[in-house]
Chain A
Amino acid sequence: MNADDLPSDLARAFPDTPGELRRLHDRLAAAAERDGILDVAYRTVDSPVGPLLLAATEAGLVRVAYASEGHDTVLQALADRISPRILDAPARLDAPARELDEYFAGRRRSFDLPLDWRLSAGFRRAVLSHLPEVGYGHTASYAAVANLAGHPKAVRAAATACATNPLPVVVPCHRVIYSDGRIGRYLGGPDAKRTLLALEATA
């Protein structure tokens, strides 16, 4: 054996074992959940509006993110704002994933999930908390939503609240459009907003 080969032979003698690592990772996620140290669990789900990142604290669903937001960027923001103790741990997201599946299949008109609102505060949160009142298949204007939140003149602020909704799809900011019919800003882009409105119009 060549003297210089031994270190690289060593690496080969203890090779990567991806299947084993995946199993150990899942075991870690289960143990972290059991020990109460999994501050944020996440998974991604496929949908007609692209892959969605779902993240939940122990209190409930805290973030839904479109691919266009950059899932890694969103996870880093969750680490900065909530806690870096974050794992890809699908079990906690079973109920949200199932309800979103039903929604995209046209079999669900409202979501029945515990929500963690901590990423939204003040007037924005007030606006978002009223959005479920805009029913499935309907739309409302930003002015109407500002009115629902108790500040009829705060139309721009209502628009900002919708555009920064941490829980898109589940909290239906896609149902809020301009009174002249323009579709308005949307986290997932205008095409995603149109897709959701079309889904709700036909289902």
Chain B
Amino acid sequence: MTGKQPFEAVVTQHGATVLRVCRAVLGPADADDAWSETFLSAMKAYADLRADANVEAWLVTIAHRKAIDVTRAAARRAIPVAETPDTVAADAADGSGLDGDLADAVAGLPAKQKQAVAYHYLAGLPYADVADIVGGSADAVRRAAADGIATLRRTYPGAAATKEETDERG
């Protein structure tokens, strides 16, 4: 009987997607730690995973929890600063962006929208699966993803100009 595939194959098949999701949700600085903790936890629990489970959804679920842990830990470390969501996209253009402006624009999305965009558009999970991960209904996730995309459409084309202004200021 053929059971679960070797965990190496899980890393090979899903490692890149999980890293993309971690980067989108957390930004590049914390993505590596979240990825590492996700796969270490997944490997520990792998034997108990149902044979017919959707491995990618399972991994994104773990990554989501790790991202929350990382965000909370960062919030405890950080000195609070006044920041409104509208300015975060501009502030994120501090050189930590992976591939320029769209990544920065994603970093500036509110958490629910960012998660919906990352899990649906980057990981390719259906809205219902994303709802299982983040809570709430599939419709709510669909709206959050649509709002996120609308915000990106608004901020992405102008992000270059915003970045230049930031640099001039900086």
Query: Could you tell me which A residues sit within 8 Å of B by CB distance?
Result: 1, 3, 6-7, 9-17, 20-21, 24-25, 27-28, 31-32, 35, 37, 40, 42, 75-76, 78-80, 83-88
Among the listed B4, B7, B40, B106, which residue makes an inter-chain contact with A31, where contact means beta carbons less than 8 Å apart?
B40
**A86 contacts across to B, CB distance below 8 A:** 6-8
In whole Å, how far is B166's beta carbon from the nearest beta carbon of chain A?
18
B156 in the interface (beta carbon within 8 A): yes
Given A76-B6, A79-B6, also A10-B157 (CB < 8 A): no
Residues B122 and A14 in contact, CB atoms below 8 Å apart:
yes
Residues B8 and A14 in contact, CB atoms below 8 Å apart:
no
Among the listed A13, A32, A42, A78, which residue makes an inter-chain contact with B43, where contact means beta carbons less than 8 Å apart?
A32
Binds A, one of B64-72, B94-102, B130-138: B94-102
- Across the two chains, which residue of chain A brings its CB closest to B40? A31
Bound together, the chains give a CA A79 to CA B121 distance in angstroms of 32
Residues A79 and B5 in contact, CB atoms below 8 Å apart:
yes
- Across the two chains, which residue of chain B brings its CB closest to A79? B6
**A6 contacts across to B, CB distance below 8 A:** 149, 152-153, 156
The 6 closest A-B pairs by CB, nearest first: A13-B102, A86-B6, A84-B4, A14-B20, A13-B103, A79-B6
**A80 contacts across to B, CB distance below 8 A:** 1-3
Residues B121 and A7 in contact, CB atoms below 8 Å apart:
yes
Among the listed B47, B106, B149, which residue makes an inter-chain contact with A85, where contact means beta carbons less than 8 Å apart?
B47
Bound together, the chains give a CA A3 to CA B156 distance in angstroms of 12
Interface of A is mostly: helix
Residues B3 and A84 in contact, CB atoms below 8 Å apart:
yes
Bound together, the chains give a CA A3 to CA B40 distance in angstroms of 38
- Across the two chains, which residue of chain A brings its CB closest to B98? A14
Given A6-B153, A21-B16, also A88-B8 (CB < 8 A): yes
User: Residues of B within 8 Å of A, CB-based: how many?
Assistant: 38
Query: Could you tell me which B residues sit within 8 Å of A by CB distance?
Result: 1-8, 11, 15-16, 19-20, 23-24, 32, 35-36, 39-40, 43-44, 46-47, 98-100, 102-103, 106, 117, 121-122, 149, 152-153, 156-157
**B24 contacts across to A, CB distance below 8 A:** 10, 14
Bound together, the chains give a CA A10 to CA B11 distance in angstroms of 22
- Across the two chains, which residue of chain B brings its CB closest to A87? B8
Interface centre among A12, A17, A35, A40 (most CB of B within 10 A): A17
Residues B102 and A75 in contact, CB atoms below 8 Å apart:
no
Residues B5 and A20 in contact, CB atoms below 8 Å apart:
no
Among the listed A11, A16, A17, A28, which residue makes an inter-chain contact with B40, where contact means beta carbons less than 8 Å apart?
A28
**A24 contacts across to B, CB distance below 8 A:** 15, 19, 32, 35-36, 39
In whole Å, how far is B89's beta carbon from the nearest beta carbon of chain A?
13
6 pairs, CB–CB < 8 Å, chain A vs chain B: A7-B121, A12-B102, A24-B35, A28-B36, A28-B39, A84-B5
Bound together, the chains give a CA A27 to CA B37 distance in angstroms of 10
In whole Å, how far is A148's beta carbon from the nearest beta carbon of chain B?
35
Residues B36 and A27 in contact, CB atoms below 8 Å apart:
yes
Bound together, the chains give a CA A27 to CA B121 distance in angstroms of 28
Bound together, the chains give a CA A82 to CA B4 distance in angstroms of 11
Residues A76 and B11 in contact, CB atoms below 8 Å apart:
no
Residues A31 and B99 in contact, CB atoms below 8 Å apart:
no
